[in-house]
Structure formats: structure tokens, C-alpha cells
Amino acid sequence: KNDRLLVMGIKEAELTKYAANAMLATKISFINEIATLCDSLDIDVDEVRKGIGSDKRIGHSFIYPGCGYGGSCFPNDIKALIYTSIEAGIDPVVLKSIEARNAVQKELMVNQVFEKFGNNLSGLKFSVWGLSFKPGTDDTREAPSLTIIEKLISAGAIVHAHDPVAMHEVKKNIPRAWRNKLFFSEDDQY
């Protein structure tokens, strides 16, 4: 329904790309914050999500709560906009909040585990399903799952992981500290 081809200057095109990704990251961060509020008020976030998504101005895309965004575009584009804003003498309050909310979201699940089991997870096993930053890709750059796995292993947990596409990428780049603590679904130890 919109123009399929837009003609603009190089600077405008670059900022358009960054701004579009920032808007999508904003939607993700917003629904994650609403989900946290819903949890504390014993409200079903899925009902709230459906309700706000029915407003055509908002829509249903990018309003599914989860453990944060990752990949190469959203984190880098938010950082680029923050840097550009500061260089231009503007305090990017909203952009910094998006980045901060995403960092909090990546820690939230692990904090819930610590609340339930304590900070020492030695002898406990956890499963992580999904390793890439989004389903159907092998891209694990800034994937929330890797933050979660690192925190669990650092607390002494054993982690079993599965991803239908991204396991080979994670296996190639396993940090030394994760060896003997991270197992994959096809490994014998699973």
C-alpha cells in the first residue's frame, strides 16, 4: 500500500535504515517491559499483546515478549544512532532506554532462575531451546541465549542446548570456559 521505491539522498537512506530498525527494537523492548509489568500484576501479557496489536496503528508484528533482541542490525543500529545523536549534541534518551531494556531482558530469565534455585547452580541441568537471535537462522551474534548460557554456566549449571539451524555455529565458537558444561542435543551426554 506504500510506495515500493523511494528515492532519497545517501544520508537520508542510511538514517532511514537505522531508524526503521530502532523502531522495531523499540516495539520489542516495549512489549518486554509490559510483560514484566504483567508478571508483577498477575496479568496475561498475551491478552494485552492481542489487544494492543488489534490497533492498526500498532499492529501485531514485533510485539511478542521474549528474552530480548540480538543479531547484527538492531544492536549495532541502536548504538550507531546513540553515537550519532551524542555527536550532534542530542541526548538520545529513548534510544538509550531501548538498549538498557534489552540488556535487562537478557538477564531477566537468569535472575528468575537464581530466585528459584539460588546463585549456586552446581549439579543442576538446564535446557536452552533456540540459540540464534531469531528462529530459522544460524546467526548467533548478540543472541540472548548466549548471555543466558554464559550466566548459567558461570553459576555452575550444566546446559543442554538445541537449535535446528544454529548449533554448528555455536559449536565452532564455544568459549573454553563452557567446555564440559554445554552439551548439544545430538551429543552423547545429552
Q: Please, are residues 134 and 94 in contact by the beta-carbon 8 Å criterion?
A: no
Residue 5 CA to residue 109 CA, distance in Å, equals 42
73 catalytically annotated: yes
Burial 56-94 (b: 16+ CB within 10 A, else e): eeeeeebbebebbbbbebbbebbebbbeebeeeeeebee
Which residue out of 35, 73, 98, 158 is catalytically annotated? Answer: 73
Cα–Cα dist 147/124, whole Å: 18
Answer yes or no: are the C-beta atoms of 74 and 25 closer than 8 Å: yes
**Residues designated catalytic:** 73
